[in-house]
Structure 1
């Protein structure tokens, strides 16, 4: 309505900035002008460049359809190449890839514990702390790391015995994992993170937040068997699973279990890609003594109720469509203990919904971070 002409604005800005910059250079060479005069001229240069704003450039470019078409085509080509190479993109720009997430090792009592980190360390928002599940690693959160590292600090641990962390011969318990992560938070200066755990990582997140009630500002569990009924411990299926994990066919049983949890919603080729890229590699690297001890202790020796009773921070649960998990998680019991719990569900996705429907998971986490953290604080 003001008769705005982007091209004229750009030309005026270029001319004015050139004149003022030349004046500034002459003042600097002369060296006898008051500081306030030099400062005013510098402000003038800055304001003149303000005329050449991104909005003006965008408006000018929009008037040339051929250029716009070329930019769109180039963006689509870059996204296609990025997808083929395993890189994740946001807004057309390559942000992060699984292969580029290089773990950092910190030594705790002689045991090296790994984590990956991304995003601005000084962001003015709560950082995120991702916790992998049984026989997994940080890769299961690759789309979440790519998405959230654009605005906040993100740390994803590799549990002791998993991924790039050391795997000493010892007992692997939920409480022990929680103690490791609390130590890592202290070492990294990670203050009041939102803890997000996938699968068994959700139980560890619950234990961490109950065991260290002042550590986190919020918690999210993703498709976690969080409150299994006691009768499950005595079921023949569970006993057979534990015997298999401890037996000579360990790797075949673990791989088959991981495949089945993926369910059959996805296109077969994409399901295979997700399994072979994000699930199978850490599964094959997890030593048998780690996997067996962790599963045995989680099923037979761990009671989540004390941690749930101590946990009063905002809490969310994101469900998938996995019959076994749906049957054994008992969210009604968890919500009785933790009335602040909010529940969501991804649509038509298996256990690896963080990869399979990453856009849904990211949207739910975004909503929890912007709204959920401010509800039901106790």
Structure 2
């Protein structure tokens, strides 16, 4: 992998730019999920770079890129991706977002003015729809908030210095537990934003690719996106989970080729 480095707003950014250089063709920009990085796109890049110019970046806080200076929302991740696209001189592109990268792609597709022509959208096991909270989940969340408030009291912190962190680790997701303190704050901002109201505004033709066994962003999310995005089609990938493009690359590859107009016998 030919990895390059640049800086955007003072943040070191790790990225790749490979494949055919043709200003007439649309480039493909790959956006990874939370806790992931560009390395997981290696197989996809190797294939698509035979036919398109392909770009992918480690978003700030992931892979080999630096962390932002403060907790970011989805909009700030979108701002960074747009800066990256301008930096690369991309004029026309397809956005492919996996999981959190899908969130960012949805935000970008809703911007009124873009520094490039967004021709198509590919959302792979995308995040963006808030899960419905069951009574049990609401109860647990309420208990957590009460415990957090109590353990945040200064005198309690002095008496039990590790208790608050232990509570967070007990209730936090795997992504939360593995993140740095700053990125944990970003994660809280990101996962609590509901992007469902933005979906009907997407004008681009959109391909939805979903693992049938996805538990992180369940298939019901993909079906809901298909209902709300005006020009969307959903492909359900059998025997695949949240990383459907890794679990069943052969199937996903053929689907991408068809959507991008790459000859199937190439």
Classify the TM-score, shorter chain.
0.7 to 0.9
* Counterpart check, 1:220 vs 2:112: no
Picking from 363, 368, 375, the partner of 2:254 is: 363
The structure with the largest helix share of the pair is 1
Q: Aligned-residue CA RMSD in angstroms? A: 3.3
Partner of 2:226: 335
Picking from 199, 202, 206, the partner of 2:102 is: 202
Looking at structure 1, the residues matched to 254 and 140 of structure 2 have their Cα atoms a distance apart, in angstroms, of 36
Structure 2 alignment gaps of length 5 or more: 149-163
Give yes or no for contact 1:123–1:151 (8 Å, CA) kept in 2: no
- What is the TM-score when the length of structure 2 is the normalising length? 0.77
Task: Describe the SS at the equivalent of 1:211.
Answer: coil
Partner of 2:217: 325
Deviation at 1:143, TM superposition (A): 1.0
Deviation at 1:237, TM superposition (A): 6.5
Partner of 2:87: 187
Deviation at 1:358, TM superposition (A): 1.2
Task: Describe the SS at the equivalent of 2:203.
Answer: coil
* Counterpart check, 1:175 vs 2:95: no
Picking from 288, 294, 303, the partner of 2:180 is: 288
Number of residue pairs aligned between Structure 1 and Structure 2: 241
- What is the TM-score when the length of structure 1 is the normalising length? 0.56
Partner of 1:354: 245
Partner of 1:266: none
Cα separation, partners in 2 of 1:231 and 1:124, compared to 1, 3 Å = same
Looking at structure 2, the residues matched to 362 and 253 of structure 1 have their Cα atoms a distance apart, in angstroms, of 37
Structure exhibiting the larger radius of gyration computed from Cα positions? 1
Task: Describe the SS at the equivalent of 2:6.
Answer: strand
Looking at structure 2, the residues matched to 331 and 236 of structure 1 have their Cα atoms a distance apart, in angstroms, of 28
Deviation at 1:155, TM superposition (A): 0.1
Task: Describe the SS at the equivalent of 1:167.
Answer: coil
The structure with the largest strand share of the pair is 2
Cα separation, partners in 2 of 1:232 and 1:138, compared to 1, 3 Å = farther
Partner of 1:118: 18
Looking at structure 1, the residues matched to 34 and 139 of structure 2 have their Cα atoms a distance apart, in angstroms, of 21
Looking at structure 1, the residues matched to 210 and 37 of structure 2 have their Cα atoms a distance apart, in angstroms, of 20
Over 6 Å off, 4+ runs:
237-243, 249-254
Looking at structure 2, the residues matched to 239 and 116 of structure 1 have their Cα atoms a distance apart, in angstroms, of 43
